[in-house]
Chain A
Amino acid sequence: SQTIHQWPATLVQPVGSPLSLECTVEGTSNPNLYWYRQAAGRGLQLLFYSVGIGQISSEVPQNLSASRPQDRQFILSSKKLLLSDSGFYLCAWSTLAGGIREQFFGPGTRLTVL
C-alpha cells in the first residue's frame, strides 16, 4: 500500500532563517507530487507541483522553492523565511495509474515564523 511521509510535524523558526521540509512517498512510482500551504482557517494554496524528477512547476512567485531529487522525494525550501510563510504545509501525491484519481495527503507540517 502507498504511504506518504512528511517531517517535521511542527517547526518554529526565526525570520530570516532557512527552511527545508521533506516529503517522501512509498509504494508507488512516478507519482505527481504537490506542495500546498494553508493559512490559519483558510483554503489550500498550491505552491508547487512536479510530474517527474527535476520537473517543478511553480504556481505562486515567492521566496520558496521546491526540488525533486528522487522519484518519490519532494523538498520545499527557503533561504530566508518571512513572517508570512507561517502556515500549515501539506504534501500530496497523485497518479492516474490503476484508476487512482484522488490526491493523497501527508500529515502536514505546522510552521511558525517568529
Chain B
Amino acid sequence: AQKITQTQPGMFVQEKEAVTLDCTYDTSDPSYGLFWYKQPSSGEMIFLIYQGSYDQQNATEGRYSLNFQKARKSANLVISASQLGDSAMYFCAMREGPEVTFGTGTKLQVIP
C-alpha cells in the first residue's frame, strides 16, 4: 500500500488566489512527521513546512500552511496569495523513524 498519496497530478491556480494541494498518508506508527517540499524545474528540493504527529497546532510558514487532520490521515498544503514563482512540483513526504517516503507529487501552475 502507498504510504503517501497525492491524488492531483496537476493543478492550476490564478495568481493571488489560494490553492490547496492534497496529501493523505498511511501509518500505524503513533510518532511520525509530515513534510512538504517544492521542486522547481531546476531540480533542487526546497523544504517548505513540517508537521509532527503530536503537534497540536497546524504548522504555518509564511504563505504556506498545513491543514493537518489526524483522524483522516490527511496533511494538505495550503498556499495563500499564489505567485508566479510558486509554479513547480510539490511533494508530500512522511517520516517514520529514520525512513522518509515521498508521494508522486502535484505539478502546480500559477496563471497570471
Interface of A with B (CB < 8 Å)? 32, 34, 36, 42-46, 49, 51, 57, 59, 88, 90, 92, 94, 101-105, 107-108, 110
Contact = CB atoms under 8 A, between A and B. Distances in A.
Interface residues of B, number: 20
Interface stretch (B13-21, B39-47, B65-73): B39-47
B100 A107 contact: no
Given A57-B99, A101-B52, A103-B47, A43 B91 contact: yes
B30 interface: no
Interface of B: 6, 33, 35, 43-45, 47, 50, 52, 91, 93, 95, 98-105
Contact of A43 (B47, B52, B103): B103
A105 B43 CA distance: 10
Given A36-B102, A49-B99, A90 B33 contact: no
Nearest to B92: A43
A36 B98 CA distance: 14
Contacts of A36: 102
Contact of B102 (A46, A49, A107): A46
Contact of A108 (B35, B43, B47, B103): B43
Contacts of A94: 95, 98, 100
A43 B33 contact: no
Contacts of A108: 43-44
B44 A107 contact: yes
B98 to A, nearest CB: 5
Nearest to A36: B102
B101 A46 contact: yes
Given A101-B52, A107-B44, A108-B43, A46 B100 contact: yes
